[in-house]
Amino acid sequence: MTFHAKFSGYADPALHAMGLYIGGKWQSGSGITVLDPSTGNLLAEVADAAIEDAQRAVDAADAAAAGWRATPPRQRSEILRRWYQLMTQHAEELATLIALENGKALADARGEVAYAAEFFRWYAEEATRIPGEFRHTPSGSHNILVDHEPIGIAVLITPWNFPAAMATRKIGPALAAGCTVILKPASETPLTAYAMARLGEEAGVPPGVVNVLTTSNPGGITNAMLADPRVRKLSFTGSTGVGRVLLAEAAKSVVSCSMELGGNAPFIVFDDADLEAALDGAMIAKMRNAGEACTAANRFYVQAGIHDAFVAGLTARMKSLKIGPGYDPETQCGPMITQNAVRKIDRLVSEALAAGARATTGGKPLTENGYFYPPTVLENVPVNASIAREEIFGPVAPVYKFESDDEAIRLANNTEYGLAAYIYSRDLKRAMKVGKRIETGMLGINRGLMSDPAAPFGGVKHSGLGREGGVTGILEFMEPKYYAVDY
């Protein structure tokens, strides 16, 4: 791994990890360049794993598996707890790394580190509460004993938008369950993953229990690992398109899959909502990570009576945001991850404008260096525009006017996705009644933020399979074993 001088000046040298992490050993290399999205300049170059490296990672995870499975839950718990503490101690350096390689504003990066570390604390606690079951058969013929065993070696694939939290949300429950893992972070943001692996080493994670690989050949490497009969779990967070490809690949070896995929969250504001609260919630739901979140509000459905006041309030708030590099402490809206991301946002906004939408602020990419798109509000957007169907993944808030509850529900459900949704109303009964009819895995009622390590995170429809976090998250990494017992 090579560090660019600018990067070395920002990051704590203790977290300058040395490339592929396999079987407790660091293997330096090059081939994958990491860019600063606020300038397009080189930050660092990391190793590019080949298929043989992935096979060595599976060997290492296999060699460590029996020992880790036999490690008492209390001991596994204490290692996770130490990892949580080390992440908390190094929170500022980790947040700087995230702001550098991902571009998000430091405040968002700090929030991510705290959220990410909480998964280790939560699963340190859950490691000691692995459930079992005892039942009598209705016929009285025998007894039913259900144990939960670690599922086996898990391959974990994560996206660039939460480089710390998407990794800990998988590693925490996997290690708590007794599984060994191979993490493949996104190529845009590998530095955070390697820095966290360094802290894991310091926390006492035994060699081979956590392995980390970066690669320019994610398909080839993943297919090779899924074809190895020792790999029994794939936990993926990323786009629905790649998720579909991986589900098909995993089917060949009948590997258990957890899929956290794309979203297209509706944000519904009823006439009876508290306007200021709805605007506060809208800013969080839209602008956390500058809109680069799977739970980001993608479609604002606002009832006719409150519509104009909402658009005016949202426009004023979006206009006031300071744009800049994530690592500048003044920044509130950082760059997008790549130039391609800016192009996609530009296409969606241009198509909406051509179809009759009006931008009350923003509406065009910024022309300075780096991958910037300004906070944008669109009104009068046609409900069938491509911006209503595709994930925007940027700081653009399209607002649509509706009249009745039934119309809001119909519009909200008019998508292949079903990850997150938001409702603002002072009438809780109405919000709950509408919420019951929204096809979603998660629903924020009078809240713009729902992520919490103690809650089950995940979607319905094409947004995924399974849940991460909460008390059930650990079961994604376990197999129930039924003992029919007669005595």
Q: Would you say 450 and 420 are in contact if contact means Cβ atoms under 8 Å apart?
A: yes
Token pair 């700090």 in the structure block, residue: 110
Nearer to ligand NAP, 243 or 375 (CB): 243
* 336 scored as a contact of ligand NAP (CB under 6 A): no
Could you tell me the two tokens for 5?
A: 């001088």
Which residues 6+ apart lie within 8 Å of 84 measured at CB? 117, 118, 120, 121, 124
Q: Which of 19, 103, 262, 473 binds ligand NAP (CB under 6 A)?
A: 262
* 238 scored as a contact of ligand NAP (CB under 6 A): yes
Of 190, 69, 85, the residue nearest 130 (C-alpha): 69
Tell me, yes or no, if 351 is annotated catalytic: no
Nearer to ligand NAP, 213 or 431 (CB): 213
Q: Which of 102, 222, 361, 425 binds ligand NAP (CB under 6 A)?
A: 222
* 290 scored as a contact of ligand NAP (CB under 6 A): no
* 186 scored as a contact of ligand NAP (CB under 6 A): yes
- Which listed residue (201, 260, 292, 468) is catalytic? 260
Tell me, yes or no, if 294 is annotated catalytic: yes
* 338 scored as a contact of ligand NAP (CB under 6 A): no
Residue type, 281: G
**Total binding residues toward ligand NAP, as defined by CB under 6 A:** 28
CB of 259 to ligand NAP, least distance (A): 8
| 147: Cα separation from own chain's centroid | 30
What residues between 361 and 380 interact with ligand NAP by CB under 6 A?
Answer: none
Dump the DSSP string for 110-145. Answer: HHHHHHHHHHHHHHHHHGGG---EEEE-TTSS-EEE
Nearer to ligand NAP, 38 or 440 (CB): 440
Residue type, 29: G
Q: Which of 219, 229, 305, 356 binds ligand NAP (CB under 6 A)?
A: 219
* Residue nearest to ligand NAP according to CB distances in the complex: 238
Q: Strand runs (DSSP E) across 174-294, as ranges?
A: 181-184, 210-212, 231-237, 256-260, 265-269
Nearer to ligand NAP, 137 or 340 (CB): 340
Which residues 6+ apart lie within 8 Å of 68 measured at CB? 76, 175, 178, 179, 180, 206, 209
CB of 329 to ligand NAP, least distance (A): 25
- Using only C-alpha atoms, the chain has a radius of gyration, in whole angstroms, of 23
Nearer to ligand NAP, 262 or 398 (CB): 262
User: For residues 332 and 54, what is the distance between their CA atoms, to the nearest angstrom?
Assistant: 39
What residues between 423 and 482 interact with ligand NAP by CB under 6 A?
Answer: 459, 464
Q: Which of 18, 130, 245, 449 binds ligand NAP (CB under 6 A)?
A: 245
Segment interacting with ligand NAP (CB under 6 A) among 13-21, 111-119, 160-168, 191-199: 160-168
Of 200, 217, 204, 214, the residue nearest 87 (C-alpha): 200
CB of 214 to ligand NAP, least distance (A): 7
CB of 486 to ligand NAP, least distance (A): 44
Q: Which of 242, 333, 359, 474 binds ligand NAP (CB under 6 A)?
A: 242
- Which listed residue (101, 179, 188, 294) is catalytic? 294
CB of 76 to ligand NAP, least distance (A): 24
Reported residue count of the chain is 487
177-214 burial, b for 16+ CB within 10 Å, e for fewer? bbbbbbbbbbbbbbbbbbbbbbbbbebebebbbbbbbb
CB of 347 to ligand NAP, least distance (A): 16
Which residues 6+ apart lie within 8 Å of 430 measured at CB? 270, 272, 405
Segment interacting with ligand NAP (CB under 6 A) among 71-79, 171-179, 224-232, 256-264: 256-264
Segment interacting with ligand NAP (CB under 6 A) among 260-268, 269-277, 303-311, 346-354: 260-268
Of 259, 297, 282, 283, the residue nearest 421 (C-alpha): 297
205: DSSP letter: P
CB of 235 to ligand NAP, least distance (A): 11
**Helix, coil or strand: residue 182:** strand
Catalytic residue numbers read: 260, 294
Binding site for ligand NAP (CB under 6 A): 157-162, 166, 184, 186-187, 218-219, 222, 237-239, 242, 245-246, 260-263, 294, 391, 419, 459, 464
